[in-house]
A and B are shown apart, each in its own frame.
Chain A
Amino acid sequence: MQIIDTGLYRFSLKSDVKHVSTVAKSLYSDSWDLDGPVDFSIRLVYESLLRRFIKPQISFYSDQHSPFKPLPISQAAAVLEWGMNWCIAAHEFERLLIHSAVLVKNGKAIIFPALPGSGKSTLTAHLGLSDWDIYSDEMAIIDTSTSMVNPLFRPVCLKNNSIDLIKAWHPEAYFSPICKDTQKGDVAHVKVLTWEQYQKFDKAQIVAVVFPKYVPESELKIYQLTQLDAFNTLSKNAFNYNVLGADGFDAVARVIKSCRLFEIEYSDLNEVNDFLSEDVIG
């Protein structure tokens, strides 16, 4: 059994697949404090005897139950990360969870809610490995009473071409082996933080919401969003919006009212970095 500490949530992991333990070790080993209780006990197991040998499949279990169908063994490392996301999203109702990346500079946070294929993860990984603090690639975890966003100690999930791009730009970073042909295409995780860096992070005030959209060959285009449009998109991207009810509505409204709201089209990440650093964080 190994412990995975993501800062806010602690997991104990048992894996039938040795490879997954190795990857988890590479991504999280600096946060392995064995003492203290864990929030979720998770397992990766072979579902049936026959399936260990013929077209092997792996199932993710959160304690006694498996929330997804089994997947081919080649995707096991990605299944672990998705499973951890599921645990958080299915049990955290004290904070608002928005499907979004979070980048922070000078204590000011920008959140990037976006659909798959928008280039969100590439943007997060590149900026995070440059001079931004990366609070999350997958979910903005927002305190409902203050609307401050919490940091999370997780890798960034890269898909398809962006794996090679980030590898070329940041050869020094650690990449997990590539999982081929998942539902999201090829997937690899890149470690963007050390535990030491993470522990220096504080909750941050959100100053902007930016909806990114990667458009090949495009110059950087910036659109101001209305509060109404931003509210609609942000609340649709919140995992637990329905459960939080009025508190969720108020939290989203507070973020929207206190933030600058943009939609950007881009192809060059350095242009995006300049815009965010100079014009948004300022």
Chain B
Amino acid sequence: MLDTKVLFQLLLSPRLGLTFTLLQWQKVIFIFRESKLLASLYHVALRDGCFDDYPEFAKRHLGSAQIYAKRQAQQILFEATEFRLQLEQVGITAVFLKGAGYTLRNSLNSHGRVCSDIDVLVNKKDLSVAEAHLKNNRWQSEVLSDYDEKYYRQWAHEVPPLIHINRATVVDMHHNLYPPISGRTTNISQFISSRLKTSSGCFVLEPATTVMHSIIHLFANEDSSSWIRDLFDITLLIKEYENDEFWQALIDLSKQTDFEFEFVCCMNALKLYSNIAIPDIAKSYLAHYKMTKTQAWLMKHAILPAICPEHDLLLTPKIRWAKKLVYFRGHWIKMPFNVLIKHFAFKSFFAIRDQIMGKHHFDPKLPENPNW
């Protein structure tokens, strides 16, 4: 039986795959294709030395995915350098986050990892200068609906996605790690000042800060579709960078940023799914941390099960329910109640309409493409 635990175990001990039947492999390929983990599995199996013993069927799919990932890593290096140089013209330093950051620092979790956009962090005071300069230099934003524009400008921690007009690269430029509307903005200058310069000349966050950001991004998010991949990132980052100083810094950061519950969830997720040995310093912190009853219930029944990859082969009614709860909680902690109600009213109106009429009924008519 495939479930989240078995799949996570496969990523950590790829030799497990040697015992799989072809039909089990087929399921693994489908689920990891959906979770964007095929190329990651390729690399862990290669490092372990068991890739060559996998069946041809598996090798073909993992091999193909890693070619795509390799090309994307090349593009990220190129695009990040372009972006860095562009902002340096106006004296602004961008720090690269998440996927692009992993690739730039060449951490183990970046091998085979794919991402859909590049995330960067700049100081809020620099944001308008940076955006204006980019828009004078071939970066554009799509025209947004009034509601979405307002969402970004008033509530969000990022500007609307910037798209390069020639290469269609998408950059999400952040000024904080979490939406200001939540009232939980972190002191971002502390994050930015903890940066490291990579060999490409681009900046990334220090290891502990990187992991803290990954924890916030995962456990305070409403969209659980990539949680298994994100938890695998955190696992490999910890394995690669952990030492006493790292753990102390991570615990301090969780307190300073006020994302202690998310940190506790992460430690519990690692205990449940990974083989990471949680050090005593973190254990004693966990023992002293007091969760409310609601939080404890939420962690057990929503957050931990929702790490399951979003695929029909795995989604039991319980897991679907957990993912719905996580979705609601993610919005709940992000927005004040009155804003949240309005947000859901908008989104559910469109969702119900699409269910009745079909998803694309109200889309603007596209020009016909004779080559399709």
Q: Quick check: B311 and A91 within 8 Å, CB to CB? A: no
Q: Quick check: B370 and A70 within 8 Å, CB to CB? A: no
Closest Cβ of chain B to A185, distance in Å, is 10
Q: Which of B22-30, B146-154, B244-252, B268-276 contacts A (4 or more CB under 8 A)?
A: B22-30
B372 within 8 A of A: yes
**Complex contacts, A94 vs chain B, CB 8 Å:** 60, 63-64, 67
CB within 8 Å of B: which A33-68 residues: 36-39, 41, 47-51, 57, 63-64
Q: What 0/1 pattern do residues 58 to 69 of B give for CB contact below 8 A with A?
A: 001101110110
B312 within 8 A of A: yes
CB within 8 Å of A: which B12-63 residues: 22-23, 25-26, 29-30, 33-34, 57, 60-61, 63
| A-B CB pair tally, cutoff 8 Å | 72
The chain A residue with its CB closest to the CB of B311 is A64
A132 within 8 A of B: no
- Contacting A48 at CB < 8 Å: which of B23, B29, B355, B369? B355
Q: Quick check: B67 and A41 within 8 Å, CB to CB? A: no
Q: Quick check: A243 and B68 within 8 Å, CB to CB? A: yes
A: number of interface residues (CB 8 Å): 29
A231 within 8 A of B: no
- Contacting A38 at CB < 8 Å: which of B26, B60, B311, B312? B26
Interface of chain B, helix or strand or loop or mixed?
helix
Q: Which of B130-138, B320-328, B358-366 contacts A (4 or more CB under 8 A)?
A: B358-366
The chain B residue with its CB closest to the CB of A55 is B358
**Complex contacts, A91 vs chain B, CB 8 Å:** 33, 61, 64-65
Q: Quick check: A37 and B57 within 8 Å, CB to CB? A: yes
**Complex contacts, A93 vs chain B, CB 8 Å:** 64-65, 67-68, 71
B1 within 8 A of A: no
B187 within 8 A of A: no
The chain A residue with its CB closest to the CB of B225 is A64
**Complex contacts, A243 vs chain B, CB 8 Å:** 67-68, 71
- A93 to B60 alpha-carbon distance, docked (Å): 10
Q: Quick check: A51 and B368 within 8 Å, CB to CB? A: no
- Contacting A36 at CB < 8 Å: which of B22, B359, B370? B22
Q: Quick check: B371 and A37 within 8 Å, CB to CB? A: no
B310 within 8 A of A: yes
A92 within 8 A of B: yes
- A219 to B368 alpha-carbon distance, docked (Å): 33
B287 within 8 A of A: no
Q: Quick check: A64 and B312 within 8 Å, CB to CB? A: yes
- Contacting A41 at CB < 8 Å: which of B30, B354, B363? B30
- Contacting A183 at CB < 8 Å: which of B63, B360, B368? B368
CB within 8 Å of B: which A53-89 residues: 57, 63-64, 69-70, 82
- A115 to B370 alpha-carbon distance, docked (Å): 10
Given contacts A36-B22, A41-B30, A50 and B67 within 8 Å (CB-CB): no
CB within 8 Å of A: which B53-89 residues: 57, 60-61, 63-65, 67-68, 71, 74
The chain A residue with its CB closest to the CB of B372 is A183
Given contacts A64-B311, A91-B64, A70 and B359 within 8 Å (CB-CB): yes
Q: Quick check: B369 and A183 within 8 Å, CB to CB? A: yes
Closest Cβ of chain B to A191, distance in Å, is 24
**Complex contacts, B371 vs chain A, CB 8 Å:** 115-116
Closest Cβ of chain B to A61, distance in Å, is 11
Given contacts A63-B33, A94-B60, A245-B74, A48 and B357 within 8 Å (CB-CB): yes
**Complex contacts, B311 vs chain A, CB 8 Å:** 63-64
- A207 to B310 alpha-carbon distance, docked (Å): 46
B277 within 8 A of A: no
Q: Quick check: A63 and B34 within 8 Å, CB to CB? A: yes
A244 within 8 A of B: yes
**Complex contacts, A51 vs chain B, CB 8 Å:** 357-358
A184 within 8 A of B: yes
Q: What 0/1 pattern do residues 104 to 123 of A give for CB contact below 8 A with B?
A: 00000000000110000000
Closest Cβ of chain A to B20, distance in Å, is 11
**Complex contacts, B65 vs chain A, CB 8 Å:** 91, 93
**Complex contacts, A36 vs chain B, CB 8 Å:** 22
Closest Cβ of chain A to B177, distance in Å, is 29
B144 within 8 A of A: no
Closest Cβ of chain B to A36, distance in Å, is 6
Q: What 0/1 pattern do residues 331 to 371 of B give for CB contact below 8 A with A?
A: 00000000000000000000000111111100100001111
**Complex contacts, A183 vs chain B, CB 8 Å:** 368-370, 372
Q: Quick check: B358 and A37 within 8 Å, CB to CB? A: no
- A110 to B359 alpha-carbon distance, docked (Å): 43
The chain B residue with its CB closest to the CB of A242 is B71
- Contacting B363 at CB < 8 Å: which of A63, A69, A115? A69
**Complex contacts, A116 vs chain B, CB 8 Å:** 370-371
**Complex contacts, B30 vs chain A, CB 8 Å:** 41, 63
Q: Quick check: B355 and A37 within 8 Å, CB to CB? A: no
The chain A residue with its CB closest to the CB of B312 is A64
Q: Quick check: B370 and A37 within 8 Å, CB to CB? A: no
- A101 to B103 alpha-carbon distance, docked (Å): 38
Q: Quick check: B369 and A64 within 8 Å, CB to CB? A: no
**Complex contacts, A82 vs chain B, CB 8 Å:** 372
Closest Cβ of chain B to A145, distance in Å, is 13
Given contacts A64-B310, A64-B312, A184-B370, A48 and B74 within 8 Å (CB-CB): no
- A200 to B149 alpha-carbon distance, docked (Å): 60
Given contacts A51-B357, A93-B68, A37 and B23 within 8 Å (CB-CB): yes
- The 8 A-B residue pairs with the shortest CB-CB distance in the complex, in nearest-first order: A37-B26, A93-B67, A48-B358, A47-B358, A37-B22, A51-B358, A93-B64, A69-B360
A-B pairs with beta carbons under 8 Å apart, 22 shown: A37-B23, A37-B25, A37-B26, A47-B359, A48-B354, A48-B358, A49-B356, A50-B357, A51-B357, A63-B34, A64-B311, A69-B360, A70-B358, A70-B360, A82-B372, A93-B65, A93-B67, A93-B71, A94-B63, A115-B371, A183-B370, A247-B67
